Amino acid sequence: MGFNPFFIFGGICAVIIGILFYLLSATKTELKNERELSTARAIAIESYEESIKSANEELEKSAKALKSLNAKNKRDKDEINKIKNQLISGAESSCLDAINAIYHRLHQQARDKNSTSN
């Protein structure tokens, strides 16, 4: 009996088919991993974008609050300067006038604070 070339050819084909199945399986696993990584990246990017959007909204709110506070502080400063200038320029101004002006301003601030909190 000798070697039958069909058995040798069949054996070689079986080895080649085995290698191809292994490579196909490895490729499928790699593609699955790539899809999972891609999905994870997309979720991370979406989460990052949401975080940035939220931070920008908070920053805008903070900027508006600061702008409002600065405007209020400017009004207060202007009012105090107005009172100071009236007291300095008034020849008959006394310490009592200064104290009355300060109390008037404090009462006005308290009224403003109460009206904004309601």
DSSP secondary structure of 33-76: HHHHHHHHHHHHHHHHHHHHHHHHHHHHHHHHHHHHHHHHHHHH
Predicted pLDDT of residue 50:
94
What is the rounded distance in angstroms from the CA atom of residue 14 to the CA atom of residue 7? 10
Amino acid identity at 113: K
What is the rounded distance in angstroms from the CA atom of residue 41 to the CA atom of residue 36? 9
Does a structural domain hold residue 89? yes
Question: How many structural domains does the chain have?
Answer: 1
Does a structural domain hold residue 1? no
Please give the residue range of the domain that contains residue 17. 7-117
pTM score, two decimals?
Answer: 0.49
Instruction: Quick: pLDDT tens for 76-86.
Output: 888 878 877 77
Does a structural domain hold residue 75? yes
Does a structural domain hold residue 42? yes
Does a structural domain hold residue 86? yes
Predicted pLDDT of residue 35:
95
Low-confidence ranges of the chain (pLDDT < 50): none
Does a structural domain hold residue 2? no
